[in-house]
Chains A and B, each alone.
Chain A
Amino acid sequence: MLKAIKYIASQNLVSKDELISAYDEGIAGRKSEKTSFDISKILYFIGGGIIILGIVILIFTNWDKMNDFGKILASLGSAIAAYVLGAILSRYEKIIYAAGQAFFFISAILMPIGFYVTLDIAGLDVDAAGVNAFVSASLVLIYAISYFVYKTYLFNILAIAFSSWFYFSLTSLIAGNNPILDAEKFFEYRTLVLGFSFLFLGYYYSKIDKKVFSNMLYAFGMCGVFITALILGGYKPDQNMFWEIIYPGLVFAAIFISVYLKNKIFLFGGSIFLIAYIIKITSEYFSHGFGWAFSLVIAGLALMGVGYLTYYLHQKYLGSSEL
């Protein structure tokens, strides 16, 4: 192509300005096509959300009028129909392919509802951990297989979401309502562990150049780790010194990782959770001794310090990174 341009230019068949103008028009056309494609995708998913809402309202308002078969058909049947439609539309390209993704999304929301309705009609206790583990395991299987068949990242997200649910329901099934476990602490430790798992998964996706997906997992992972670590630290007089002491270490590790990975999610996440920690510790330990007014001054100075550190690290190490 470039050789052809060189030849045309050598023959004075086209001027430099004409070439640049043609190039700019081409770029503008591609951008406008991409923009309209993005808008279509957004509209597909909004439409999908409205369809889900409609089906849920239809089921709930007519619940008493429907027989068992009707209930299963309206919930699980709709989910399967949406999945099949998604599979058919995904065979096409671009705009129609995106509509297929929207139908897969509808199916993913309706599928758990369908499972629960069917199992409830079958006479099972749908609140039981065993039923939750069965439903979530089935969904993991469905969407993991779907990912390997269709290679679309929507299924990857769904498989991760349902795997997380399966992890919670399986550990609940194993714990079996055991009263020696503090239910809140059990939930917090499980969330903390899942958060670390998400961080590793995010790192894996960053290595295979799926940056958006990777950053999404980093954000969820950081929330899982830092929010639960903050809660596990407790509050005076029931504080847990281990978590209160280790927390700043975790935050600075996140900030260090942000520099190592050149990733802004770790830097901003670490800074936000450091600010949360400073506010918590100030109100917990200093508000009584120094009084609230002086504590606010200390907290304010500390927050300014965090702000400057974040700005400095961003400018020095991450200025050119995409995210």
Chain B
Amino acid sequence: MDYRKNAPLIAAIAIPILMIIFVAVAIYVPGLFKHPTYSFLYAEGYTSGIYEVKNGTIAKVEYDERTQNYYKNREEVKLYLYDVAKDQAREISLEDAAKLSLDTSRIALDGFTIAQGRRTSLFDSNDGRNLFAINGSVSKELNVGIRNYSFTFLGWIK
């Protein structure tokens, strides 16, 4: 093989391959050394007007009858507890959720925050079905699937 003659071809193939390796390293390597340590409570669907967290406890919002009627046709909101040790989420009832002590700060004490993935096409970008724990350049995809794309973070479990 004539390396001198083929050097531009080798460079042309190597450049995109290096970019692919760079993207993979930049995304996965920082996450190997830093892990989220706090579990959290979240809802699928918009909780505004249905649930509220007051003094670290979740409760149903009490409205007058007219407002209740306004909200009653809205999509059902489900509560989930993400367990960081098991890397999985399970649905919990409002009664069980009300027993948890919540920290509503967006950033946990370990520096992680929760963000929805982005569905990006050539022309626009929307909320995706997956969740990520993010801390600076570290991002870890969580084993969670948001079925209807709407996600509400409710609080870290103290």
Contacts and interface: CB of A to CB of B under 8 A. Distances in A.
B102 to A, nearest CB: 23
Contacts of A181: 27, 118
B12 interface: yes
A178 B28 CA distance: 11
Contacts of B23: 171, 174-175
Nearest to A190: B19
Interface string A113-150: 00000000000000100000000000000000000000
B12 A201 contact: yes
Interface string A188-205: 011001101110110110
Contacts, number: 79
Given A177-B117, A179-B132, A180-B134, A204 B15 contact: no
B8 A200 contact: yes
Nearest to B117: A177
Contact of B24 (A174, A183, A193): A174
A172 B20 CA distance: 10
Contacts of B115: 179
A46 B6 CA distance: 36
B12 A180 contact: no
Contacts of B128: 177
Given A174-B24, A174-B27, A183 B16 contact: no
A207 interface: yes
Max chain B C-beta neighbours (<10 A), residue from A176, A194, A198: A176
Given A167-B20, A183-B125, A196-B15, A177 B119 contact: yes
A3 B122 CA distance: 66
Contacts of A180: 132, 134, 137, 139
B5 interface: yes
B141 interface: yes
B11 A177 contact: no
B12 A197 contact: yes
B48 interface: no
Interface in B112-126: 115-122, 125
Interface of B: 5-6, 8-9, 11-13, 15-16, 19-20, 23-24, 27, 115-122, 125, 128, 130, 132, 134, 137, 139, 141
5 contacts: A174-B27, A179-B132, A197-B15, A200-B15, A201-B12
Interface of A: 127, 163, 167, 170-172, 174-181, 183, 187, 189-190, 193-194, 196-198, 200-201, 203-204, 207-208
